[in-house]
């Protein structure tokens, strides 16, 4: 299969008041069409930064991103983003939130009737057709995230970018959302990059798991191929040896190789001396 997205030797340096901060160093990743990639790593390592560079919400200090062999320089709907805290516009209904995107992306390709149909189709896809006229503050967190996903899908993106889409949800809702996402992915076969800090979620959903080292100067540590057959069922997989092998590989990477050093737990030299004295 062809490479659709090429993240090529990306460095990211943030200028801060205390001097430059190198967040990413040499991040290099090629993604095939229809692949579901999850990006996992400890909090603060630079996952969102990678995603924002692909979306062009940040500009890489070095290197760049190629979509179908063309460098991307501006944000655009062909790289739709599902943000962590849904980011629906609170003054628009669910329907209107999606409509804003559809009108913008397909203004020359669809008639108004086709647009209406397309918006309702996407609402159906995430099982939210019953709440289309509600405002975001009238629906639950999981529902908001569904609308956020529907809005992104309605743009027919070449690459779908998701930044911890289920991070703010409770475990039960999260499992529901994962099942929904798998169902949608079976139908649409999108190219997806999803950030997560949930190991089960990564193994359940992905074709490849990209594991990032800790920052500063974070980069890709290991890449794990997930060759479990689709459709996947979370209950059946619980006893699958391959599933458990993959799961423990990710856990080993996160909690042994990239063990997060807790700054609070390690006393400084001065404190030690005073403890002794």
Partner 1 sequence: MTATLSKKTVGAQPMSIKALFTAFFTTKAKAIILPSVGIVCFLLFWSLAASSIDTSLGKFPGPSAVATQISNLIDEHNTEREKETAFYIRQEQRNQARMAKDPSYEPKTRAYTGKETFLDQIITSLLTVLSGFLLAAIIAIPLGIAIGLSKNLNMAINPIIQIFKPVSPLAWLPLVTMVVSAVYVSPEPLFAKSFINSLITVTLCSIWPMVINTSFGVASMNQDWVNVSKVLSLPKLVHIQKIVIPASIPAIFTGMRMSLGVAWMVLIAAEMLAQNPGLGKFVWDEFQNGSSQSLSRIMTAVIVIGLIGFMLDRTMLQLQKKLSWDKSSAQR
Ligand X SMILES: Nc1ncnc2c1ncn2[C@@H]1O[C@H](COP(=O)(O)OP(=O)(O)O)[C@@H](O)[C@H]1O
Cα-to-chain-centroid distance, residue 113:
32
Among 29, 31, 38, 48, binds ligand X (CB under 6 A): 48
Strand partners, 193: 37, 161
Instruction: Please tell me the distance from the alpha carbon of residue 32 to that of residue 222, in angstroms, as a whole number.
Output: 17
Query: Taking CB under 8 A as the criterion, which residues in 88-127 touch partner 1?
Result: 89-91, 100-101, 104-105
Residues for the chain: how many in total? Answer: 277
Among 47, 132, 174, 232, binds ligand X (CB under 6 A): 47
Instruction: Please tell me the distance from the alpha carbon of residue 222 to that of residue 215, in angstroms, as a whole number.
Output: 15
Name the segment binding ligand X (CB under 6 A); options: 44-52, 99-107, 136-144, 224-232.
44-52
DSSP assignment of 194-253 equals: EEES-HHHHHHH-SEEEEEPPSSSB-EEEEEE--PPSSP-HHHHTT-HHHHHHHHHHHHI
Contact 150, 98 (CB under 8 A): yes
Which of partner 1, Mg ion, ligand X, none binds 204 (CB below 5-8 Å, type-dependent)? none
What x-and-dash track marks residues 37-76 binding partner 1 by CB under 8 A?
Answer: ------------------x-x----------------xxx
Which of Mg ion, partner 1, ligand X, none binds 61 (CB below 5-8 Å, type-dependent)? none
Query: Per residue, what are the HEC states of 71-132?
Result: ECCCCCCCEEEECCCCCCCCCCCHHHHHHHHHHHHCCCCCCHHHHHHHHHHHHHHCCCHHHC
Asked whether position 85 contacts partner 1 by CB under 8 A, the answer is: yes
Query: Taking CB under 6 A as the criterion, which residues in 208-237 touch ligand X?
Result: 215
Asked whether position 178 contacts Mg ion by CB under 5 A, the answer is: no
Contact 40, 250 (CB under 8 A): yes
Name the segment binding ligand X (CB under 6 A); options: 42-50, 74-82, 133-141, 219-227.
42-50
Instruction: Give Cα separations from 106 to 112, 132, 145 (angstroms).
Output: 10, 20, 23
Residue number, 84 or 116, with CB nearest to ligand X: 84
Widest CA span of the chain, in angstroms? 80
Among 4, 5, 10, 48, binds Mg ion (CB under 5 A): 48
Q: How many residues bind partner 1 (CB under 8 A)?
A: 21
Using CB under 5 A, list all residues that contact Mg ion.
48
Using CB under 8 A, list all residues that contact partner 1.
55, 57, 74-77, 79-81, 83, 85, 87, 89-91, 100-101, 104-105, 135, 155
Using CB under 6 A, list all residues that contact ligand X.
14, 16, 21, 23, 41, 43-49, 215
């Amino acid at each position: 299969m062809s490479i659709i997205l090429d993240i090529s030797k990306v460095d990211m340096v943030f200028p801060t008041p205390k001097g430059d901060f190198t967040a990413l160093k040499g991040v290099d990743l090629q993604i095939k069409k229809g692949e579901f990639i999850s990006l996992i790593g400890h909090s603060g390592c630079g996952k969102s930064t990678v995603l924002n560079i692909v979306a062009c919400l940040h500009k890489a200090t070095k290197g760049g991103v190629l979509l179908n062999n063309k460098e991307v320089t501006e944000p655009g709907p062909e790289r739709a983003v599902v943000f962590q805290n849904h980011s629906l516009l609170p003054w628009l209904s669910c329907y209107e939130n999606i409509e804003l995107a559809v009108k913008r992306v397909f203004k020359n390709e669809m008639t108004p009737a086709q647009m209406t149909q397309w918006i309702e189709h996407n609402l159906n896809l995430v099982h939210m057709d019953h709440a289309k006229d509600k405002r975001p503050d009238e629906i639950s967190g999981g529902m908001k995230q569904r609308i956020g996903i529907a809005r992104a899908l309605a743009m027919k993106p070449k690459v779908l970018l998701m930044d911890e889409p289920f991070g703010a949800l409770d475990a039960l809702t999260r499992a529901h959302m994962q099942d929904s996402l798998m169902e949608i992915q079976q139908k649409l076969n999108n190219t997806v990059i999803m950030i997560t800090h949930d190991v089960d979620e990564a193994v359940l959903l992905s074709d490849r798991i990209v594991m990032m080292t800790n920052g500063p100067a974070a980069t890709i540590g290991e890449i794990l191929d997930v060759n479990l057959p689709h459709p996947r069922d979370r209950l059946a997989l619980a006893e699958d040896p391959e599933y458990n092998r993959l799961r423990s590989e990710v856990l080993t990477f996160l909690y042994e190789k990239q063990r997060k050093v807790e700054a609070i737990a390690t006393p400084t030299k001065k404190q030690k001396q005073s403890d002794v004295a």
